[in-house]
Structure 1
């Protein structure tokens, strides 16, 4: 069974691709998450403000794109992002 995850792609005012995820990112849907990020070029914003859970499969996808990504998170995900080391590899907003 695939965990519910909605992915939306837009462009921000700076011309960057924005992928917004809503739901949970885990092994059952990490391929779709990876495909959404891979389907973009150049700088990337990954909006995770509506994500309630990310497992190691989802984190692996974020690591692959960390050099070009800006992550937008909530305090709920902040500990996972920080402990993983992503804060030293990608720009992360919302860690407050």
Structure 2
């Protein structure tokens, strides 16, 4: 069974906690170290866009190019930050954007 971790706001974390997912509501200064540690411990990391914006530049690109762990950036329930548009450039290159 895949091991998941969620990093984000309190409200979203409460919902994920109900499903049995390990949840974290980190302070901005804790995010890089926590994500690095979780990358070695879990198979899937779910991040809100607000948390993803606190990561070092290029980290998401490197992670999406790697096989492990699977990282998913989801919208922030409070609407503070939009997730990055990874599909837009690909659709543009394919001529369907």
- Which has a greater percent of strand? 1
TM-score by structure 2 length?
Answer: 0.38
User: Which structure has more helix as a fraction of its residues?
Assistant: 2
TM-score between the two structures when normalised by the length of structure 1: 0.38
